C-alpha cells in the first residue's frame, strides 16, 4: 500500500503551496499534522488535472483532488458509499416524520390508527437507516466514529430491552411507553445521542443551519421529557421543528458534491498504513520539499 502511495506522490508534476480548506472539526482530527514532517508534507499539491496517478486507479479525464498526503479521485465504490450514507439519512428522516406525525393528527383518524399500529416498525426502520449512515460516515478520528456507533448500538439494545423486558401493557407500543414513562428515555436516549453527534458533525463541517439547530433541538426535547420540566405545548413545537428540519437536512445532502462526504481520501489511506510505512511516506514527502 505504501509503495502505491509513494509511487503516486512521485508522479507529482507541479509542486506549490496547498490551499487547505474544510471544517475545523475535521482538521482537528489530524494530530499527526502537528509534527514538522507532517506540516512539510502538507505543502505539496498538484494542479487539478495535471497528474495521471495509476496507483490510485484514476484516468486522465477524472478530476484529481489534492489531499494532505497525496492526490486522490472519486471512484465507483466511493459513490456507492456516499449514496448509501445519504439514503440511510433519508430513511431515518422519513421514518421519524411518519411516526411523529401521529402526534399532530386527530385521534379518531384512520391514518392515526395505522401509524400507531406500525409505529414500532417505523422506529426500527429509522434506527436501521441511522445505523447504516453511522457505519459509512467518513470521520478522520476513528475514536469519534466508533463512539457514535457504540451509542447507536447501546440505544438499540436499550430499545429492545424496553420492548421485551419491561412487559409493555397490552396494546401499547414502545413509543407510547416512552411517552408515558419519561425515565425510559435513559434506554433509548443513546440512539438519539448518536443522531445528535451526526448532525453536529454535518453542521460544523458544512455550515448547514438545519443541522446546527437539530443539534440543540434533539437533546433539549429528550431532556425536557425526561425531567418533566417541559409542558406538552413546548414538546409539540420542538417535535414539529425536529420533523421539518430533519427532512430538510436529509434532502439537502443530495445537493452536495459526492466528494464532500468523502473528505480527504488521502488521510484515510494514510491512516490505514502501518506505522513504519507512515514514517516512510512522511520522510519521502519531506525530502521532496527540499529537492
- Res 14: pLDDT: 33
3-state secondary structure of 34: helix
- 112 burial (CB, 10 Å; 0-12 / 13-18 / 19+) is middle
What gap in Å lies between CA 217 and CA 226, rounded to an integer? 14
> What is the pLDDT confidence band of residue 213, given thresholds at 50, 70 and 90?
very high
CA-angle at 185, arms to 181 and 189, nearest 5°: 165
Average the pLDDT over 136-149 and give the result: 94
Residue whose grid cell is 465504490:
77
pTM of the model: 0.75
Dist CA 173 CA 280 (whole Å): 57
Region 22-27: what's the mean pLDDT? 41
Give tens-digit pLDDT for 153-199.
999 999 998 888 765 666 678 888 899 889 999 999 999 999 999 99
Q: In this model, does residue 263 exceed pLDDT 80?
A: yes
pLDDT given at position 171: 63
Rounded distance between C-alpha atoms, residue 195 and residue 120, angstroms: 18
* Residue 82 contacts residue 133 (beta carbons within 8 Å): no
Is the confidence at residue 87, as pLDDT, over 70?
yes
pLDDT band at 16 (very low <50, low <70, confident <90, very high): very low
Angle subtended at Cα 215 by Cα 187 and Cα 23, rounded to the nearest 5 degrees: 130
Give which of 116, 120, 124 is closest to 92, Cα–Cα. 124
Whether the per-residue pLDDT at 20 is higher than 50: the answer is no
Between residues 15 and 258, which one has the greater pLDDT?
258
Amino acid at each position: 500500500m505504501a509503495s502505491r502511495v509513494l509511487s503516486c506522490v512521485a508522479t507529482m508534476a507541479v509542486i506549490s503551496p496547498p490551499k487547505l480548506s474544510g471544517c475545523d472539526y475535521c482538521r482537528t482530527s489530524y494530530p499527526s499534522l502537528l509534527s514538522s514532517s507532517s506540516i512539510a508534507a502538507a505543502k505539496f499539491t498538484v494542479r487539478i488535472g495535471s497528474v495521471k496517478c495509476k496507483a490510485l486507479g484514476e484516468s486522465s479525464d477524472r478530476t484529481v483532488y489534492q489531499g494532505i498526503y497525496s492526490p486522490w479521485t472519486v471512484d465507483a465504490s466511493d459513490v456507492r458509499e456516499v449514496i448509501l450514507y445519504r439514503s440511510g439519512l433519508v430513511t431515518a428522516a422519513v421514518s421519524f416524520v411518519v411516526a411523529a406525525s401521529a402526534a399532530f393528527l386527530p385521534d379518531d383518524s384512520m391514518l392515526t390508527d395505522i401509524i400507531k399500529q406500525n409505529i414500532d416498525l417505523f422506529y426500527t426502520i429509522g434506527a436501521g437507516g441511522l445505523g447504516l449512515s453511522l457505519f459509512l460516515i467518513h470521520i478522520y478520528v476513528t475514536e469519534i466514529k466508533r463512539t457514535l456507533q457504540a451509542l447507536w448500538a447501546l440505544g438499540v439494545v436499550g430499545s429492545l430491552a424496553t420492548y421485551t423486558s419491561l412487559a409493555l401493557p397490552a396494546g401499547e407500543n414502545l413509543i407510547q411507553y416512552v411517552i408515558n414513562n419519561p425515565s425510559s428515555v435513559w434506554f433509548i436516549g443513546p440512539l438519539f445521542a448518536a443522531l445528535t453527534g451526526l448532525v453536529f458533525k454535518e453542521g460544523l463541517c458544512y455550515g448547514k443551519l438545519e443541522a446546527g439547530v437539530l443539534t440543540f433541538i434533539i437533546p433539549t426535547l429528550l431532556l425536557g421529557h425526561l425531567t418533566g420540566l417541559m409542558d406538552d405545548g413546548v414538546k409539540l413545537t420542538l417535535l414539529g421543528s425536529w420533523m421539518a428540519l430533519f427532512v430538510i437536512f436529509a434532502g439537502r445532502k443530495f445537493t452536495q458534491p459526492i466528494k464532500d462526504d468523502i473528505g480527504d481520501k488521502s488521510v484515510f489511506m494514510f491512516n490505514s498504513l502501518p506505522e513504519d510505512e507512515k514514517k516512510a511516506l512522511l520522510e519521502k514527502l519531506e525530502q521532496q520539499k527540499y529537492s
